[in-house]
Structure 1
Amino acid sequence: MCGIFAYVLCNFPKERKHILEVLFNGLRRLEYRGYDSAGISIDYEPCNATKASGGLKDLAISRPPLVFRQSGKIEKLVTTVYQEVDETELDLEVTFPNHVGIAHTRWATHGPPSPKNSHPQSSGEGNEFLVVHNGIITNYMVLKETLLRHGFTFESDTDTEVIPKLAKFVYDKLSEEINSMKQSGGEALSFHQVVMEVVRQLEGAYALIFKSPHYPNELVACKRGSPLLIGVKSPGCPAKDVKEDADVKDGFSTLKDSGSRKELFLASDASALVEHTKRVMIIEDDEVVHVKDGSVSIFKFDPTKNLGGLRRPASVQRALSTLDMEVEQIKKGNYDHFMQKEIYEQPESLRTTLRGRLIPGDESKVKGVLLGGLKAHLRTIRRSRRILFIGCGTSFHAALATRPLVEELSEVPVTMEIASDFLDRRAPIYREDTAVFVSQSGETADTLQALEYAKSHGALCVGITNTVGSAISRGTDCGVHINAGCEIGVASTKAYTSQIAVMTMLALAIGEDAISTRARREAIIDGLLDLPGVVKEVLKLDEKMKELAATLMEEQSLLLFGRGYNYATALEGALKVKELALMHSEGILAGEMKHGPLALVDETLPIIVIATRDSTCSKQQSVIQQLQARKGRLIVMCAKGDAAIMCPNGASYVIEVPHIQDCLQPIINIIPLQLLAYHLTVLRGFNVDQPRNLAKSVTTE
C-alpha cells in the first residue's frame, strides 16, 4: 500500500535541485495508491562535487544523509524541504556525479500519520542506515525487544524502524568479525551481505530499499510479497527507444556494465518509471539487488538457510522487459479526475481487451475465442472436479458476475471464494480443481497467499490480472492479461468491466467443444463484438446520473437489489458508493428481500432495483411491486423501453440502459452506478481518486 521510489545516478552528473524534483515527481506518480505521509532522503554532500561557479574538487563525506519527513500531502513535504533549504542555505546547484536518493509515501498501519512515523526510517543518530518499506513485518515486536536489550532506542510507532536498527546491529557485529578476515586477506564487508543478514531475520511481506553513508552512492533493494521494479536509462536511449527483443545477455550486460553512465529508478509501481524509461526489470521474491559503481548485481538466496559465514550467494541474470504503458495514461488530460477519465476510457479498454481474441466467424471459420495463455490447459480445466474463483473486493465481484455463464457453458461446479476467508478456513482444495485468481494489480496479498496455498495442494492455477509481470501472472500455471491499461483512481472501473469480458471469454473457451451450446456461444460473441459501442452509448447517461446524485447527496444510506447476473452489479455499485462517497450502501440479493431487508423499507430510504432483461426479470418485477406496496422510494434500472412494464405504478426515478446479451448486461449496468458514485463523491466534497483510508493495491494483510 505504501509507495517506494529511488533515483540513482551512476557517473551521470546532476544538480541537487534536479535530484529533488525527480524524487518529488516520483512520489506524485505514486500518490494515487493512497497515502497519509511522505518523506525523502538525499546526501548532504557528494564525494566529488562540481559547483556551477567552478571546477571539480574532492570532498570527504563528513555529514550524514539528509532526511525530510512530513505527514499529509506531498506538496506539504515539498514546502517543508525548500523551507529547510532556505534556512540552512543548502546549495541546490551543487552537482552530484553519483548519488542515491530514496523516497516514500506511507499509508498508516503501525502508528498514526506523523513525521516520526513517516519513512525513511533511520538507525538512529548519524542516519547510518536508512530504509523505505512497503509491507508489514509481523515479527517486529520480537526484534524490537531484542534491539532494546542491546541498547537501541526507538522513536516511532512503526514496524519498519526495527529494520534500519537491525542493519546497524548486523553491520557493527559483522564489521568486528571481518576485520580479522581483512587482515588475513579477506574481502571487506559488502552492503548486500549486511542486508541479507537483516532480511533473514524478517517475517512478513516487504519491499525494501536501503541507503547508508557507510556505502556512499550504493543502494540495496529486496522484496518478498510486495512489488518492486528497476528501470534503467542510459545516455542516448530515450524512454520510448527500446529494443523489443533484448535477450538475457544484452539486457543484463546493460546493468552489469560497471563505470558506465546511466540513471536507475526503483519503484513499487511502473507508473513512477514510465516517464523516465520503459526498460525495466522485475525483482522477484527473495532476491537482493545491489547497485554499485553503475553495476547492478542480483542475488538469489533462501532466507531459511544460513549461508555459513559470509559466503556469496549465486547471482541471477535476467533480461530487461519493455513497459507496455505510455506517459499519457498516467495523466488526467481534459478530465477533472482520474476516475472520470477511466470511466470514459471503458469503450477503448474493452476494445483492447477483446482485440485479437474474438473469431468473428465466416464460411470457413466457426465463431470462437482465442486465449493463447490458456490454450494448452483448456482440456484440464474442462475435466476439473470444480472451478474456484478467488479474489477480493471488486475482482471478486467481477468473478461473481460471470459465475452463472461459466457453470452454464462448462457444466462444472463453480465455487466463489473471498481470498481472506478462503485462507482463514484453510478450505479443502484438490489436484482435480482449477483455481482462478482474479486481481487487478496481480499483487494483492491475500490472493497471492491463496495462490501459494492452492499450488501446494496441486490445483491448476489460472491468473487473470491487469499487470504483465505481476506476482500472480508469474506464479500461476497459465492465465490471461486483461489489457485494460493503467488505472490510477483507487476505485476500479475499467479493470472491472474488462475482467468480466475476459472471464466471459474464458467461459466460451471452456465450452467451445459442446455442440449443444454453439448457438448460445455465437450470440455471446456477437454481443462482445458490439460491446464497446454499447458502452459508448450508456455513457450518455452521465448527466442523468449527475441529476440523480444531486437528489441523493444528503442521504445516509442506499440499498441496491440485484439478482442472477446482476447480484454482482448490486454489490459492486454499493461498494463504489461506499468507498468513494463515504455513504452507507449495501448490495442485496433480491431473493433474500423477504428474509430481513424488507424491514428497512419506507418512503425515505432510496432503493435501486436492477431489473434488466434476463431470466430473473419477472422476479425482479415482483420485487418492485412489493416495494411499491410498502411505499418504497424506488429507483429502477431497466432496459430501454421497459419502464412502463417494469414500473406500472411509477417510480421516483428510472434509469433506462441499452439491452445486450444477458451475461454481458453487468458490464452495461455497472457504468451508470460508477457515474452515480463519482458524482455523489464530487457533490459531497470528497476526494474521488484517493478515498479516505483506502489504497489502490492492498499488498499487506
Structure 2
Amino acid sequence: MCGIFAYLNYNVTKDRRSILEILFNGLKRLEYRGYDSAGISIDLIIISNNNNNNHRSPLVFRQEGNIENLAKSVFQEVASIDLNLEESFSVHAGIAHTRWATHGEPAPRNSHPQSSGPENEFLVVHNGVITNYKVLKEMLVRHGFTFESETDTEVIPKLAKYVFDNTNDGEGDHSMTFSQVVFEVMRHLEGAYALIFKSKLYPNELIACKRGSPLLLGVKELTDTVSNGVSINEVKCLIKNGQPKELFFSSDPQALVEHTKNVLMIEDGEVVHLKDGGVSLLKFDHEKTKSGGFARTASVQRALSTLDMEVEQINKGSYEHYMQKEIYEQPESLTTTMRGRLIRGGSCKAKSVLLGGLKDHLKTIRRSRRIVFIGCGTSYNAALASRPFLEELSGNIFQLLTGLPVTMEIASDLLDRRGPIYREDTAVFVSQSGETADTLRALEYALENRALCVGITNTVGSAIARNTHCGVHINAGCEIGVASTKAYTSQIVVMAMLALAIGDDTISSRTRRDAIIDGLYDLPNKVREVLKLDQEMKDLAKLLIAEQSLLVFGRGYNYATALEGALKVKEVSLMHSEGILAGEMKHGPLALVDENLPIVVIATHDVCFSKQQSVIQQLHARKGRLIVICSQGDSALVCTGGSCRVVEVPQVEDCLQPVINIIPLQLLAYHLTVLRGHNVDQPRNLAKSVTTE
C-alpha cells in the first residue's frame, strides 16, 4: 500500500540537495510496496524585509508515475525558480509519500502530501482509508473550504486548519500546540491511518500518529564530530536532549536500516511529536474522547528496539530481480527458520521440536476444541498446505482416536460473516508482514471472543506479533518482492514444526514424527536440488508465453500448491490461472479441457498419487495439454496413454512435499513475467503489504 517516509535533522547541517536525496532514497526503498504516484515537501526560507527574521514556507512537489518522474520534475521546477540546492539547514523537516490509488485516479492533484489550502499551512501524508471522509468533507465545505482532489486524505489537513483557526486568535498567538491540533483531528477520524503532519505554523516540527496502519520512528543520535567522521551513540530509550540527531519516520523498516537500527514500533493510538531535538510519545484514547470535549492524552515511556536486518538484505546483489533473489534464498531461509528449533537428540534422546514462543501455551493449545487458521492470500495457502499434518498429529483429550479439528478462514470472509470463534478455540493468524489489515481486524475479533491467539509472522515487532498471546517468528529474512516466495515455504515449515510440537506427547506417532524431523533437516538440500530446474522452467515459460490461461490441479497436501502456484502466475505474469482441487474436476472444470489449454497436474508420490494418475488419464482422454509435476523416477507412471511434459522433483516426506512442489511453479511464474515484459517486483495493481481493507 502507500509508503510514508519523513526526515528531520536537528543540529546536523544538511544542504537542500542532501535532504532531497535522503527523501528520494527513502521512497525508493518503499517502491516494492506498490504505488502509482509520489510526492515530497521541503522548506523554502523567506527573509523578512522588516526585521531580517526568516520563516519557512513549504514547497510541495507531486507527480504521477514513478519516483524517477518525481525527482526529474522536482529538479526541473527547482531550476525554474532558481532555488539554491546548496543552501544548508541545521534543522529541517521533510516528508515524502508513494501513493497507491484508492480514492481518485493517479494524478498530481490526488498525490500526497495533501494540503490545507494554497498557503500549505498544514500538510499530511497518509496510508490507510478514512471511512467518514464524506461527512467531514461536507462539514468543511459548509465552512468555506474548497477541495482540489478526490482523495479521502484531503479532509485531514483541512480539518487541522479548521481546528487551528477556531482555537487560535489569528494574530500569531498559538494557544494550541501542534500536538493538540493533531489530537483534535484524530478525534474526528474514523477508519485506518498512519499520518505524518508538517506545518508552516509549527516550523521544524513533525507529528506522526497511527491507527491500524504500520509506522516506525528511527532515531540516529550523534556525538560530537571526531577526526574520522561521526560516531553513533546507541540510543537505548527516548530522551529529550540537545544532541545532534537525525530522526526518521517510515511505514517500513527497509527505508530505515541504512540510516539506523534504533527504532520505535509506533502503537495504535500513539502520537509521536518531534520538536527541538526531542521526541515526545503520547497516547491518544479514541474511545474516551470521541464523545466530545478536548482529546485526552497521556505521556508514554518506551524503549527503542533494534532492527534485526542488514543493508545487504534490501539489495538485489547479483540477481536481476528481488523475486528471483528470494526464490534462490529459500535453502538459507528454511535453514534459518529451523535453526535452534529442531532437536535431533542422541542415541538415547528422542527427536523433538522447541518453539520458545509457544512453550508456555502448548498445553492450552492441546486442550482446544479446535484450531482455526486465519490468513489472506499466500499466507492462507500456506496454512492450508499444513492442515492435513496438523489434523494427523494433534490428537487431544477430546479427540482420543482422531486429530484436533482444524478449520480454515479467509480473514475478510470471517469478518463479513462474523463467523463463530469461541474461548475454547486456538486461533492462528498467519501473515508475512504481520500488518495485513483484514487479518488484524480478525485478530481483534478473536481477542474479543477470548480465543487463544497465536501469531505466525515474518516481522518482529509487527502488530500481529505484538497483539497475539504467543507466536512463532518465521525468520525467513527480509522479503521485498510483492509475490511472496521464501516466506511461503518458511510458513509451511513453521506450521509443520507447530504440528510436531502440539503432538509431542503422542507416543503412537513417534516413528512418523522422527521421519518428519529428519526430513526437515534435509529439506534445504532438497530445495537446492529442485532449484536446478530453473532453465527447464524457463524453457517451459517460452512455450506458454502467448497463452491466456493456465489450470493447476492438486489434491491432498498439494491442493494448496495448486492454489499458490496459480496465484503466483496470475499476480506477476498477468496470465489468468486457476488452482483447482482435483477431486472437483468432474464438477465443472472438465468442461474447459481441450487440446489448447495448458494444464499443470501435481502428482508426486503420496496417498493421493493413484487418484492423480486417474485424473491424468481422464485429461488425456480429452486431449488435454498436460504438464505433470511428479517425483523423480515416476515419469513412466504418470504419462501412460498420452503425451505430456514432465517435471521431476525430489521426493520428501508427504507433509513437506508442498515446499518442494511450489518451487518449479515459482520459477515458471518468474520467467513468464520477465519474458512477457512485465515488472516482476511490482505487479500491476498489487502491493506488498495490504494495510487497508
**Offset of residue 177 of structure 1:** 10
Larger mean Cα displacement after TM superposition, 622-631 or 646-655: 646-655
2:407 is equivalent to residue 415 of structure 1: yes
Q: Which amino acid aligns with 2:15?
A: E
Q: Which stretch shows the higher mean deviation, 430-439 or 355-364?
A: 355-364
1:196 aligns with 2:177: no
Q: Deviations over 1:533-592 (max 9, x none)?
A: 110110000000000000001001100000000000000000000011111100000000
- Please give the residue correspondences for 1:259-270 in structure 2 after superposition, counting only pairs within 5 Å: 259-270=242-253
* Structure-1 separation of matches of 2:160 and 2:117: 11
Deviations 1:334-357 (A, max 9, x none): 111010000000000110000000
SS at match of 1:226: coil
Q: Is the 8 A contact 1:46 1:96 kept in 2?
A: no
What amino acid maps onto 1:24 in structure 2?
A: F
1:457-477 deviation per Cα after TM superposition (whole angstroms, max 9, x unaligned): 010000000000000000100
- Could you say which residue in structure 2 is the equivalent of 1:65? 58
* Counterpart for residue 611 of structure 2: 619
Deviation at 1:309, TM superposition (A): 6.0
Alignment of 1:142-221 (within 5 A): 142-176=135-169, 188-221=175-208
SS across alignment from 1:660: coil
Counterpart residue identity of residue 393, structure 2:
L
Instruction: Identify the match of residue 340 of structure 2 among 356, 365, 369.
Output: 356
Q: Which residue of 2 aligns with 1:370?
A: 354
Say which SS state the counterpart of residue 298 (structure 1) adopts: strand
Aligned-pair distance for 1:652? 2.7
Determine the structure 1 residue equivalent to 2:94. Answer: 101
- Contact preservation (8 Å) 1:388, 1:415: yes
Give distance in 1, aligned partners of 2:175 and 2:296. 12
Distance 2:294 2:645 in 1: 71
Alignment pair present for 1:388 and 2:372: yes
Deviates further, 517-526 or 642-651: 642-651
SS at 1:44 equivalent:
strand
- Structure 2 match to 1:51: none
Residue of structure 1 in register with 2:399 after alignment = none
Mark the CA change 1:433 to 1:538 in structure 2 (over 3 Å): closer, same or farther.
same
| Mapping 1:514-663, distance limit 5 Å | 514-663=506-655
Give per-residue Cα distances to partners, 1:416-458, cap 9 Å, x unaligned: 0000000000001110000000000000000000000000001
Question: Secondary structure of the residue that 1:210 maps to in structure 2?
Answer: strand
Q: Contact 1:239/1:278 (CA < 8 Å) preserved in 2?
A: no
Work out whether residues 288 and 296 of structure 2, in 8 Å CA contact, stay in contact via their aligned partners in 1: no
Q: Could you tell me how far 1:239 is from its partner in structure 2? A: 11
Residues 239 and 279, structure 1, Cα contact 8 Å, conserved in 2: no
Other-structure match for 2:363? 379
Instruction: Answer yes or no: is the 8 Å Cα contact 1:240–1:277 preserved in 2.
Output: no
Counterpart in the other structure of 2:263: 280
Deviations 1:128-148 (A, max 9, x none): 000000000000000000000
Tell whether the 8 Å contact from 2:220 to 2:232 is kept in structure 1 after alignment: no
| Residue 15 (structure 2) aligns with | 15
Work out whether 1:504 is the aligned partner of 2:470.
no
Between the aligned partners of 1:133 and 1:468, the Cα distance in structure 2 is 23
Q: Deviations over 1:257-290 (max 9, x none)?
A: 2x22100010000000000000111110001111
| Aligned match of 1:85 | 78
**1:510-538 alpha-carbon deviations (Å, 9 max, x no partner):** 00000000111110000000011110110
Partners of 1:312 and 1:561 lie apart in 2 by 56
1:234 paired residue among 200, 215, 221: 221
Q: One-letter code of the match for 1:396?
A: Y
2:611 aligned counterpart, secondary structure: helix
Q: Distance in 2 between matches of 1:301 and 1:125?
A: 30
Change (3 A) 1:655 1:46: farther
The range that moved more, 355-364 or 577-586, is 355-364
**What is the alpha-carbon distance in structure 1 between the residues aligned to residue 231 and residue 585 of structure 2?**
55
- 1:296 is aligned to 2:288: no
Q: How far off its partner does 1:480 sit?
A: 0.3
CA distance in 1, matches of 2:351, 2:366: 19
CA distance in 2 between counterparts of 1:467 and 1:439 reads 9
CA apart distance, 1:651: 3.2
Q: Is the 1:394–1:492 contact (alpha carbons within 8 Å) kept by the matching residues of 2?
A: yes
Give per-residue Cα distances to partners, 1:80-124, cap 9 Å, x unaligned.
000011111100010011000000000000001000000000000
- Paired with 1:177 and 1:60, the residues of 2 have a C-alpha distance of 19
User: What is the deviation of 1:240?
Assistant: 11
Aligned-pair CA distance for 1:311: 7.5
Equivalent residues of 2:222, 2:243 under 8 A apart: no
Query: Following TM superposition, by how much is the alpha carbon of 1:189 offset from its aligned partner in structure 2, in angstroms?
Result: 1.5
Which residue is 2:400 aligned to?
none
* From 92, 105, 111, the counterpart of 1:112: 105
Alpha-carbon distance in structure 2 between the residues aligned to 1:236 and 1:357: 40
1:342 equivalent in structure 2 = 326
Q: For the Cα contact (< 8 Å) 2:593–2:619, is it kept in 1? A: yes
Q: Normalised by the size of structure 2, how large is the TM-score?
A: 0.96
1:467 corresponding residue in structure 2: 459
The SS at the match of 2:217 is strand
Contact 2:222 2:232 in 1 (8 A): no
Q: Is the 1:401–1:568 Cα contact (8 Å) retained in structure 2? A: yes
Matched, 1:670 2:657: no
Give the residue type in structure 2 aligned to 1:662: D
Q: Which runs of 5+ in 1 are unaligned?
A: 49-56
Gaps of 5+ in 2: 395-402
Q: Structure 2 vs 1, CA of residues 340 and 606 (structure 1 numbering), >3 Å: closer, same or farther?
A: same
Q: Structure 1 residue 47: deviation in Å? A: 8.5
Answer yes or no: is 1:29 the counterpart of 2:29: yes
TM-score (norm 1): 0.95
Change (3 A) 1:364 1:616: same
What is the CA distance between 1:691 and its match in structure 2?
0.2
Letter in 1 for 2:220: K
Q: Which amino acid in 1 is paired with 2:54?
A: A
Amino acid at match of 1:480: V
Richer in strand (by share): 2
- SS of the residue 1:260 aligns to: coil
Change beyond 3 A, Cα 1:287–1:521 = same
Equivalent residue for 1:490, pick from 467, 476, 482: 482
CA RMSD of superposed structures (Å): 1.8
Secondary structure of the structure 2 residue equivalent to 1:363:
coil
Q: Tell me, in whole angstroms, the C-alpha distance in 2 between the residues paired with 1:139 and 1:216.
A: 29
CA distance in structure 1 between the partners assigned to 2:231 and 2:308 by the alignment? 10
Letter in 1 for 2:350: V
Instruction: Answer yes or no: is the 8 Å Cα contact 2:184–2:294 preserved in 1.
Output: no
Asked if the contact 1:378/1:510 (under 8 Å) is kept, the reply is yes
- Change beyond 3 A, Cα 1:645–1:203: same
Partner of 1:43: helix, strand, or coil?
Answer: strand
* Secondary structure of 1:45 counterpart: strand
The answer (yes or no) to whether the contact 1:226–1:443 under 8 Å persists in 2 is: yes
Q: Distance in 1 between matches of 2:324 and 2:629?
A: 21
The Cα shift of 1:648 comes to 1.7
Structure 1 pair 294–58 and aligned structure 2 pair: CA distance change class (3 A): farther
Q: Is the 8 A contact 1:37 1:118 kept in 2?
A: yes
Question: Matches of 1:349 and 1:417 in 2, distance apart?
Answer: 27
Query: CA contact under 8 A between 2:140 and 2:158: conserved in structure 1?
Result: yes
In 1, Cα distance between equivalents of 2:641 and 2:348: 52
